[in-house]
């Protein structure tokens, strides 16, 4: 059996002001049909049945999940008291699902806020990853073949082939040599030139038992706390115990806390038009341009302006005259203006607003 675990507790602050703490980017229409989380669930079909899709989110965001994914059973919504990054998110989901499913059940764990353009190829790669997870005692991550020296993505260095007699996996399953955090452009170019690096998609596939054993090994401060929580599942004090656990555990990503240390990390590669749509610059890159190389959405009029990204959602008129290489994002309450190539720093602006307690705009 294959279950999908969709991680939907992130805040996506680099896409402010469209993405806010009250309604993060996974619940917002960014491109194509539907919101990012709706598209994430749709492209799993029919590979994973709707009844086998689980969504991990926070108490504050549960209402958005219910509203936007009405066909996902309410019982399949796993609620974190508050966000603690992907390490605890994955540990919580696996701990809960282990109560109902056996240790050989395959979990496909994926972010809710990515764009994938070639769904058929994505499902083919996902099937290969599930086959590998069933055949090997490993956690499989999906690596995306890079098309440019991108500094906004993490990277995986691919090692030797995993020995296997399965023809589906022969030559298509490799050991992970190392993980690399988001590099600068020069380092990213060296990765591309080396030829053995792929983009880290943040998608993981493993059996429940293998996943939890690896988590407990490499996050020894987390493992015992989740075992305490497991004993409370179904009891009246379950939520209180979980909140107590979350107040004790540290925030850590699954990549850093587990995968970078694991000896059983493997990778399958794919090319299916992937992006984490992490910044407005990335969204500009992916979008169709007009004859002036502009991307315009909303009530926008331009004159002698080029290479701009303008996204208006309030209906107010936005006019651009004689400018180039700008990003302009407008909502009912806020406007972001920055130079193209600088939108990664939007997160710093959000932190400044938070320090100044201008929370009504977050």
Predicted confidence (pLDDT) at residue 32 exceeds the cutoff of 80? no
Question: Which among 275, 291, 319 is the end of a domain?
Answer: 275
pLDDT reported for residue 101: 97
Cis peptide preceding 46, ω within 30 of 0: yes
Question: Which among 247, 275, 303 is the end of a domain?
Answer: 275
- Mean local confidence (pLDDT), 16-35: 91
Instruction: Using alpha carbons, list the distances in angstroms from residue 158 to 161, 169, 180, 197.
Output: 9, 15, 11, 6
Residue partners of 4: CB distance under 8 A and separation at least 6 = 41, 44, 48, 52, 53, 54, 107, 108, 109, 110
Residues 112 and 29 in one domain: yes
Residue 190 confidence class, pLDDT cut points 50, 70, 90: very high
Backbone angles phi, psi at 74, to 5 degrees: -55, -35
- Mean local confidence (pLDDT), 103-130: 96
Angle, CA of 255, 259 and 263, to the nearest 5°: 170
pLDDT reported for residue 243: 96
Backbone angles phi, psi at 185, to 5 degrees: -65, -40
Residue 297 belongs to what domain range?
A: 280-361
Predicted confidence (pLDDT) at residue 143 exceeds the cutoff of 90? yes
Structural domain total, the chain: 2
Residues 121 and 256 in one domain: yes
Residues 267 and 159 in one domain: yes
Instruction: Tell me 258's DSSP state.
Output: I
Residues 298 and 188 in one domain: no
Predicted confidence (pLDDT) at residue 296 exceeds the cutoff of 80? yes
Residues 271 and 284 in one domain: no
Predicted confidence (pLDDT) at residue 305 exceeds the cutoff of 80? yes
- Mean local confidence (pLDDT), 56-84: 96
Task: Indicate which CATH number applies to the domain containing 113.
Answer: 3.90.550.10
Residues 270 and 285 in one domain: no
Do the strands 53-58 and 77-80 form a parallel or antiparallel pair, or are they unpaired?
A: parallel
Note the pLDDT tens digit of each residue in 244-276. 999 999 999 999 999 999 999 999 999 999 999
pLDDT reported for residue 156: 96
CA distance 139 to 77: 24
Residues 238 and 292 in one domain: no
Rounded to an integer, what is the distance from CA 343 to the centroid of its chain? 19
Least confident of 162-171, 189-198, 351-360: 162-171
Residues 64 and 207 in one domain: yes
Residues 255 and 118 in one domain: yes
pLDDT reported for residue 180: 92
pLDDT reported for residue 165: 76
Predicted confidence (pLDDT) at residue 168 exceeds the cutoff of 80? no
Residues 52 and 161 in one domain: yes
pLDDT reported for residue 149: 92
Residues 244 and 352 in one domain: no
Do the strands 139-144 and 335-339 form a parallel or antiparallel pair, or are they unpaired?
A: unpaired
Residue 72 confidence class, pLDDT cut points 50, 70, 90: very high
pLDDT reported for residue 359: 78
* Closest C-alpha among 95, 113, 108, 55 to residue 79: 55
Question: Which among 275, 293, 321 is the end of a domain?
Answer: 275
pLDDT reported for residue 133: 95
pLDDT reported for residue 335: 96
- Mean local confidence (pLDDT), 21-37: 90
Residues 270 and 304 in one domain: no
């Amino acid at each position: 059996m294959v279950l999908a675990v969709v991680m939907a507790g992130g805040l996506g602050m680099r896409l402010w002001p469209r993405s806010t703490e009250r309604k993060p980017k996974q619940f917002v229409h960014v491109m194509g049909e539907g919101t990012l989380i709706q598209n994430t669930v749709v492209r799993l079909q029919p590979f994973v049945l709707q009844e086998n899709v689980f969504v991990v989110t926070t108490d504050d965001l549960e209402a958005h999940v219910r509203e936007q994914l009405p066909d996902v059973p309410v019982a399949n919504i796993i609620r974190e008291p508050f966000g603690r990054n992907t390490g605890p998110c994955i540990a919580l989901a696996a701990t809960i699902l282990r109560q109902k499913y056996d240790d050989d059940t395959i979990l496909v764990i994926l972010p809710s806020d990515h764009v994938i353009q070639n769904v058929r190829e994505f499902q083919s790669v996902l099937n290969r990853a599930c086959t590998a997870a069933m055949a090997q005692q490993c956690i499989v991550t999906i690596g995306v073949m890079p098309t440019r020296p991108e500094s906004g993505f993490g990277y995986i260095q691919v090692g030797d082939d995993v020995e296997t007699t399965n023809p589906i996996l022969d030559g298509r399953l490799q050991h992970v040599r190392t993980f690399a955090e988001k590099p600068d452009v020069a380092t990213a170019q060296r990765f591309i030139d080396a030829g053995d690096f792929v983009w880290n998609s943040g998608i993981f596939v493993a059996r429940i038992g293998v996943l939890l054993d690896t988590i407990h090994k490499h996050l020894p401060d987390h493992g015992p706390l989740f075992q305490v929580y497991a004993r409370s599942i179904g009891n009246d004090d379950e939520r209180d115990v979980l909140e107590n656990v979350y107040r004790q555990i540290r925030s850590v990503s699954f990549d850093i806390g587990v995968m970078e240390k694991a000896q059983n990390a493997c990778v399958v590669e794919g090319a299916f038009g992937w992006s984490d749509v992490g910044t407005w610059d990335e969204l500009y890159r992916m979008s169709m341009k007009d004859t002036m190389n502009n991307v315009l959405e909303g009530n926008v009029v331009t004159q002698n302006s080029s290479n701009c990204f303008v996204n208006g959602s309030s209906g107010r008129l936005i006019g651009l005259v004689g400018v180039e290489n700008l990003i302009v994002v407008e909502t009912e309450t806020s406007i972001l203006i920055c130079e193209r190539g600088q939108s990664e720093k939007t997160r710093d602006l959000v932190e400044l607003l938070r320090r100044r307690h201008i929370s009504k705009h977050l």
